[in-house]
Structure 1
Amino acid sequence: MKKIFNSLKSLLIIRNQSIFILISVLLLGLFFFFISLNNVHTQAYDIERFGIADETIRSPLTFEKEQETERETREAIQSVEDKFEISDEMTEERVEYVEEIFDALEKSEEEIYKLSDVEDENTPVPMTNDEKVQQLKQLLSPEISDAVRDEIWLQLLELSSHDREEGKMVFVDSLKESLEKGVRSENIATEASTLKQSIEDSDLDQDVKEPLYDLSEFAIVENSFFDVEQTMDERREAANSIEPVVIRAGDIIVREGQTITNEVYEELDFAGLLSNERNVYPIIGLALLITLIISVIAYEMVKLAKQNKLDQRKMISIVFISIMVISLMKAISLYTVQGSQMFYLVPVATGVLLVKQLINERFAVILCTLYAILGSIIFNGEIPGSLNFEVGIYFFFAQLAGILFLTDVKDRLAILKAGIGMAVVNVITVLLFIFLSFENYALEDVFTQAGFGIAAAFFSAVLTIGLLPFFETVLGVLTDSKLLQLSNPNQPLLKKILTEAPGTYHHSVMVANLSETACEAIGANGLLARVGSYYHDIGKTVRPHYFIENQLSINNPHDVIAPRQSAEIIINHPYDGADMLKKYKLPKDIIDIAQQHHGTTLLKYFYYKEKEGNKLVKEKQYRYPGPKPQSKEAAIICICDSVEAAVRSLNEPTEEKIEEIVASIVNDRMMDGQFDDTPITLRDLKIIRLTICEALKGIFHSRIQYPIKEAK
């Protein structure tokens, strides 16, 4: 029956938490929506064509002037000239033809010389001009021989080898130059004339130039052809290079006193400034964004609730902090004019500094991102559809710096130290924007904006220090600062343990030392473990003499009472302690540790003592009712509590015995299922075991036996 009652109670708690989470995120969503509504809502104007503008009107959105863009694109395309591709094959072919001509001339001259040396009755037989030409043509390709007149061949044959060689060099070089530039069909004659002019300008003899002039007509041919693909690619590239002609959000469409021309009227109409119909779309967009933001917050809250790390007080803290941070942004945005950098002054890091201390670092990072997004809307100059990314980036790094620099909060000075780190990051971010802007800033402006960043970091630290006691006292949220206060030996309950159960106090201090060391080794909250250890056995003060550490020079009262009665006294101490802690209004985390530090373990000594005379005894009667440890800190205290008592009972604690006892207790708790409800892992347990062993070896290290001086 009790099990069913506990299940129903758990379900009721979960249901109540879910309802409270839903209420919290809905409240935040409504607040975010209405505080940023005017940043996305546009005003409609009653304006007629050719009227006079009563005020300066800026565009609420960025849009393209399509007709202007099309005109510029058309002009860019028309400015692209036709592209031609020069055929390297044809260039090489014509040059080879020319070289073939001069090679053939040399070969033909050699043949003519040989034939002239043949003697018939000692009389040389000379060749006629026609025979010489025919002899030459036989050495040439038909494409060459048919294209050049015989007179040209004869003129070339009559030149000396030296003249032909010089003519060849000039002709080939000039031909290559003309062909490599490209010869199109419409300028063949022009290029031929250019080649002739090159020959004319050379130092060749006139009788060499004459045949080369005629040869130019043959050598110059079309080798540059219209390239459709390249031309289209360049035209497309030219069209793509044209930036759209746009009116950007915040740009002035018409100034006060100007005439509303047709073009201006159309721009106003396109921007949705002549009708309220389009105003609904930015509102829908804002609603969707807010929905996403609160969904992320709700998801993280549910996750924390499942880990038993979220209660109603922390939910209230999240709502209050979020409203405070966004309100500060809105207040400063109201005094921000176009082009000013007042957002540098917002102490935006206050929220995440508080959240890291009150909740955890992960939740602080998530809120850091969400606050930055909302800030980019709130500081958009009330231009719908635009986000101020500069603000978003600055807010993100300012908050992230606060989260990263705030570590190991043992006192309020840690927050001020984090403020110094935030100031450095703020200044770096400000300088980043200045250098990226390419604008000329006066040195005075640079110092002013950097000063804003430093002031924001200082205000964030001061506000955090001032607001933290409110959350600790009024809402009862546990922080490191609160834990340090609870660890003060002058606390009433700690004084009660010290005076009424000094053995238990000493035991608690030893457990605190071991627990803190083990927690820090696996990344758990060592300070919470230490303070929880101080109070975990406060319930023993109800009947202090029934616990062996307080039985100094007295008989053990358990020797004269039944094992069942002894077990009830021992088993009740975690719950007596939890009731006492609740009465003194200590934080829930401390109460949970006191209640869970024995879990559902078996009180073995009295169980086996009872079993000696009663074989039918039930194990359940000698088990703590629980609950089992729910956190890493409670699990570690559960281990250290048993380890400290077991090691203290050893007459001669050696390293081997210590290691054996610690391993035995850890394995026993694990096999008994005491860690089933905790997020602790096998790797964590191994580290915990090794850390506890090292700590105990340091406490119970062997000492030198000094000799006793004998009396004379």
Structure 2
Amino acid sequence: MAERTSIDQQRWWQKWKNHRYTRIVMFAFLGLITYGLLASNVMPEHTELEPGTVAQQDIRSPLTIENQEATEQQVDEAVNEVDPVYSKNPRYAENQIEKIRELFYVVEEVRADADTENENNDNFAEDQLADVRTELPDQMNDEIDDETIVTLLTASESELETALEHTTSAVHDVMSSEIRMDDIADATNEAETQVRLSSSASDSLVQAMTDIVRFGVTSNFMIDEEATVEAREAAEDTVDPVMIREGELLVEEGEVITAEIYQELSVVGMTEDVSIVYPFVGLALLVTLLISMLAYYLNDARTSIKQNNTYLLLYVFIYTLTLLLMKVVSLMHPVELSGLSYIVPAALGTMLITILIHSRVGLFTSMVFAVIASIMFTAESASVLNYAHGLYVFFSGAAGVFFLIKSQTVSRLLQAGVFIAFINAVVAAAVLMLQNAQYSWFEIGSNLGFAGLSGFIAAILAIGFLPFFEAAFGILSVTKMIELTNPNQPLLRKILLEAPGTYHHSVMVANLSEAACETIGAKGLLARVGSYYHDIGKTRRPHFFIENQMRIDNPHDQITPTLSKKIIIAHPYDGAEMLRAQKFPQEIIDIAEQHHGTTLLKYFYHKALEEDENTAEEDYRYPGPKPQTREAAIVCLADGIEAAVRSMPHPTAEKIQTLIQKMTEDKLTDGQFDECDLTMKELQKAAQSMEETLRGIYHTRIEYPDEEHLRTGEGGLNR
């Protein structure tokens, strides 16, 4: 394999790779780069216009908002147009009649209490008048003349009764009708006329009665405060809020800025007297939430990025590269070409993430890119968010993920470009139809053309960047794994030439493990490549392994169990060392190093017990580590099963099934799968897949007759 230096071989990265703050720093960097690239998009577009100046261009509203000042003005106008509500109150007539009765009652009381001895006193009348005034309320004192009271004091009882009857009757009759404030004079004249016509009393008494009637008649048709408030509230409810709609033309080019227009510009935040802090705070909150969700997902998802900071660093590079490309395209808006922003190769990031990391991470990232695009591509939109472009980026990225889930070859990448181009064009067409605008055929073709071109650009860039990321980060991509399966690879040729039995064994293990991994949803191709190289360490001492001992004696019969143990146990670590020397991807090295876990060399352990009963079992176990991934665990199981089945003299389906079940239970009981995320259900499916594969290999064959039988016709073949 060609020499290459990945970031894992760099000393500075080896120092910081597993530092406890490394992941925090990288996620913080993601937040900062996202915020930095979006800050210019949320900066408020302040105009330098003042009332009385002339607009140099059209200005449209960037958002939909209520113009509260205009709404309040319309509410005030509607309320002011509502006239007060009047209503007749019958209690007013009753109250006035009661006041007249009180006047006559006071007069009668004063007359009764008068000292008859003082009747000839010159001051007698004045004293009675003073007594009456003392008992009467202020309002009546102000409106009733002294002559009227004196007349009542000097009238007879029958005259008083007549006067009371006529005055109350006149007031009652007149106030039985509606009397507005403007109608009081007419109503008073009517009551006075009624009193004069209905009474035959003396002129002085009639005058007194008209004076009393003049006091008694008042307005009974007054403003109903409660009904008036209800009417005005009803009028207020009929007023709709004055809304400034997103995209609404606020100022035309050449139009003079009035106070009203300036107020509308202030409402939508386009004047200098509006604070610019809030948009940046809002962006900070949104980016923090977005990166927090991304960090939670990446730290929780069952992918290589969960614990391997090299993959997280790779993700940071791809994420940053994609955002930079999106930003560059977003800055091309001054070029007045319809649909040019659709050329953004947003699918590049999700395609690279799917190939190099995992499809689930790629799909989640497509949603993150969609949110970012909805903020970044707002130059041609009046809104602060461009939802159409967010949808476009999401579907474009998701299309790349879905098409590359099962295969990631170069030809598949080119096919993915065609598929993404088609999806992009469909989304662009859907957006145009939803807008329902009258676009020309040139504009439609331009939008669909740029959208389709985006898919091809994304695929070409992915093919170009893929080797760089593979080499820089030591990533084992599908392309690289297919390259490693080439029999002309130096290490594979070394196995084939120096340990042909091991080579055959490795091919068999590869068939078993790949089928099993694909059954449980693991990386089958990784298991195949790992199986090819898992026993490369045996090439250092090939004849000490039974599959390579053809026509020779077993050298272990001539050495001690301790030495045999050292030779056998060394081969996983010798293989890992050889793979590291050839700069192989870490995943392949891990499978070679972990494919025996901490299993026991039972044969040599029992052989050692025959020589020394105190032999410790731990001395005859592989030092590990145990399999850390599902692929390594499957290769570990397939390696033991293939060797065991190959040693069976006459393998049958029943024997194979029993053997696989026993070996699976033994490894599970021995704790070999404790450190990987292989579930019991997946282990059962993997074992069943290996059983089916081995049945196909060791199926019953036709026993062809020999040459003698063919000549004699025996066996039924010579007809």
TM bucket, shorter chain:
0.7 to 0.9
SS in 2 for 1:555: coil
Aligned residues of 2:598 and 2:624 also touching (Cα < 8 A): yes
Following TM superposition, by how much is the alpha carbon of 1:345 offset from its aligned partner in structure 2, in angstroms?
A: 1.2
Q: CA RMSD in A?
A: 3.1
SS in 1 for 2:632: helix
Shift in CA distance, 76/415, structure 1 to aligned 2, threshold 3 Å: farther
Q: C-alpha offsets along residues 612-650 of structure 1, whole Å, 9 cap, x if unaligned?
A: 221111110001111111111111111110111111111
Structure-1 residue corresponding to 2:377: 379
Aligned-partner residue type, residue 442 of structure 1: S
2:677 to 676, 679, 690: 679
Structure-2 residue corresponding to 1:448: 446
Structure-2 residue corresponding to 1:198: none
Q: Aligned partners of 2:259, 2:423: CA distance in 1, in Å?
A: 50
Q: Aligned partners of 1:506, 1:655: CA distance in 2, in Å?
A: 22
Following TM superposition, by how much is the alpha carbon of 1:246 offset from its aligned partner in structure 2, in angstroms?
A: 2.4
Aligned residues of 1:410 and 1:484 also touching (Cα < 8 A): no
Structure-1 residue corresponding to 2:700: 702
User: 1:135-284 alignment to 2 at 5 Å?
Assistant: 244-275=241-272, 278-284=275-281
Aligned-partner residue type, residue 532 of structure 1: G
Structure-2 residue corresponding to 1:38: 40
Q: Aligned partners of 1:437, 1:46: CA distance in 2, in Å?
A: 32
Structure-1 residue corresponding to 2:596: 598
Shift in CA distance, 708/448, structure 1 to aligned 2, threshold 3 Å: same
Aligned-partner residue type, residue 291 of structure 2: I
Shift in CA distance, 79/477, structure 1 to aligned 2, threshold 3 Å: farther
Q: Aligned partners of 2:238, 2:529: CA distance in 1, in Å?
A: 68
Q: Aligned partners of 1:604, 1:446: CA distance in 2, in Å?
A: 74
Q: C-alpha offsets along residues 355-377 of structure 1, whole Å, 9 cap, x if unaligned?
A: 00111011101110011111010
Q: C-alpha offsets along residues 306-335 of structure 1, whole Å, 9 cap, x if unaligned?
A: 867653442332222222211222222222
Matched, 1:311 2:308: yes
Structure-2 residue corresponding to 1:467: 465
Q: Aligned partners of 1:253, 1:590: CA distance in 2, in Å?
A: 64
Structure-2 residue corresponding to 1:117: none
SS in 1 for 2:250: strand
Q: Aligned partners of 1:59, 1:365: CA distance in 2, in Å?
A: 34
Query: Which stretch of the first structure deviates more once superposed, 431-440 or 538-547?
Result: 431-440
Aligned residues of 2:62 and 2:383 also touching (Cα < 8 A): yes
Q: C-alpha offsets along residues 532-575 of structure 1, whole Å, 9 cap, x if unaligned?
A: 00000001111111100111111111111111111111111101
Q: Aligned partners of 1:268, 1:467: CA distance in 2, in Å?
A: 47
Q: Aligned partners of 1:332, 1:306: CA distance in 2, in Å?
A: 31
Q: Aligned partners of 1:240, 1:321: CA distance in 2, in Å?
A: 55
SS in 1 for 2:18: helix
Structure-2 residue corresponding to 1:335: 332
Aligned residues of 1:304 and 1:310 also touching (Cα < 8 A): no
Aligned-partner residue type, residue 24 of structure 2: L
User: 1:638-657 alignment to 2 at 5 Å?
Assistant: 638-657=636-655
1:422 to 420, 423, 446: 420
1:551 to 536, 549, 552: 549
User: 1:295-694 alignment to 2 at 5 Å?
Assistant: 295-303=292-300, 311-336=308-333, 340-381=338-379, 386-409=384-407, 411-694=409-692
Following TM superposition, by how much is the alpha carbon of 1:498 offset from its aligned partner in structure 2, in angstroms?
A: 0.8
Query: Which stretch of the first structure deviates more once superposed, 263-272 or 663-672?
Result: 263-272
Aligned-partner residue type, residue 451 of structure 2: G
Matched, 1:24 2:21: no
2:65 to 59, 63, 66: 63
Following TM superposition, by how much is the alpha carbon of 1:409 offset from its aligned partner in structure 2, in angstroms?
A: 2.3
Q: Aligned partners of 1:344, 1:472: CA distance in 2, in Å?
A: 29
Q: Aligned partners of 2:604, 2:79: CA distance in 1, in Å?
A: 98
TM-score normalised by L of structure 1:
0.72
The aligned length equals 552
Following TM superposition, by how much is the alpha carbon of 1:420 offset from its aligned partner in structure 2, in angstroms?
A: 2.1
Following TM superposition, by how much is the alpha carbon of 1:700 offset from its aligned partner in structure 2, in angstroms?
A: 0.9
Aligned residues of 2:531 and 2:635 also touching (Cα < 8 A): yes
Q: Aligned partners of 1:621, 1:38: CA distance in 2, in Å?
A: 65
Following TM superposition, by how much is the alpha carbon of 1:272 offset from its aligned partner in structure 2, in angstroms?
A: 3.7
Following TM superposition, by how much is the alpha carbon of 1:405 offset from its aligned partner in structure 2, in angstroms?
A: 1.4
Shift in CA distance, 650/14, structure 1 to aligned 2, threshold 3 Å: farther
Aligned residues of 2:304 and 2:311 also touching (Cα < 8 A): no
Q: Aligned partners of 1:703, 1:333: CA distance in 2, in Å?
A: 67
Q: Aligned partners of 2:489, 2:697: CA distance in 1, in Å?
A: 27
Aligned residues of 1:17 and 1:311 also touching (Cα < 8 A): no
Matched residues, percent identical? Answer: 45
Aligned residues of 2:303 and 2:357 also touching (Cα < 8 A): no
Q: Aligned partners of 1:248, 1:393: CA distance in 2, in Å?
A: 22
Following TM superposition, by how much is the alpha carbon of 1:485 offset from its aligned partner in structure 2, in angstroms?
A: 0.5
Following TM superposition, by how much is the alpha carbon of 1:68 offset from its aligned partner in structure 2, in angstroms?
A: 3.8
Shift in CA distance, 547/309, structure 1 to aligned 2, threshold 3 Å: farther
Following TM superposition, by how much is the alpha carbon of 1:651 offset from its aligned partner in structure 2, in angstroms?
A: 0.9
Query: Which stretch of the first structure deviates more once superposed, 417-426 or 359-368?
Result: 417-426
Unaligned runs of 5+ residues in structure 1 are 1-11, 81-227
User: 1:71-82 alignment to 2 at 5 Å?
Assistant: none
Aligned residues of 1:38 and 1:382 also touching (Cα < 8 A): no
Following TM superposition, by how much is the alpha carbon of 1:496 offset from its aligned partner in structure 2, in angstroms?
A: 0.8
Following TM superposition, by how much is the alpha carbon of 1:46 offset from its aligned partner in structure 2, in angstroms?
A: 5.0
Structure-1 residue corresponding to 2:207: none
Following TM superposition, by how much is the alpha carbon of 1:297 offset from its aligned partner in structure 2, in angstroms?
A: 2.8
Unaligned runs of 5+ residues in structure 2 are 1-13, 83-225, 713-719
Following TM superposition, by how much is the alpha carbon of 1:411 offset from its aligned partner in structure 2, in angstroms?
A: 2.2
Query: Which stretch of the first structure deviates more once superposed, 46-55 or 634-643?
Result: 46-55
Aligned-partner residue type, residue 617 of structure 1: T
Aligned-partner residue type, residue 49 of structure 1: P
Following TM superposition, by how much is the alpha carbon of 1:422 offset from its aligned partner in structure 2, in angstroms?
A: 1.5
Query: Which stretch of the first structure deviates more once superposed, 564-573 or 44-53?
Result: 44-53
List structure 1 runs of 4+ shifted beyond 6 angstroms.
Answer: 12-15, 71-80, 238-242, 382-385
Aligned residues of 2:57 and 2:254 also touching (Cα < 8 A): yes
Aligned residues of 2:354 and 2:405 also touching (Cα < 8 A): no
Q: Aligned partners of 1:427, 1:309: CA distance in 2, in Å?
A: 35
Q: Aligned partners of 2:442, 2:382: CA distance in 1, in Å?
A: 32
Q: C-alpha offsets along residues 369-389 of structure 1, whole Å, 9 cap, x if unaligned?
A: 011111010111287971100
Query: Which stretch of the first structure deviates more once superposed, 585-594 or 51-60?
Result: 51-60
Q: Aligned partners of 1:628, 1:363: CA distance in 2, in Å?
A: 27
Q: Aligned partners of 1:244, 1:560: CA distance in 2, in Å?
A: 100
Flag the structure with larger Rg.
2
Following TM superposition, by how much is the alpha carbon of 1:655 offset from its aligned partner in structure 2, in angstroms?
A: 1.0
Q: Aligned partners of 1:532, 1:625: CA distance in 2, in Å?
A: 20
SS in 1 for 2:707: coil
Aligned residues of 1:639 and 1:666 also touching (Cα < 8 A): yes
Query: Which stretch of the first structure deviates more once superposed, 700-709 or 397-406?
Result: 700-709
SS in 2 for 1:253: strand
User: 1:5-24 alignment to 2 at 5 Å?
Assistant: 16=18, 18-24=20-26
Aligned-partner residue type, residue 18 of structure 2: N
Aligned residues of 2:35 and 2:287 also touching (Cα < 8 A): yes
Q: Aligned partners of 1:14, 1:687: CA distance in 2, in Å?
A: 39
Q: Aligned partners of 2:639, 2:388: CA distance in 1, in Å?
A: 54
Aligned residues of 1:515 and 1:530 also touching (Cα < 8 A): yes
TM-score normalised by L of structure 2:
0.71
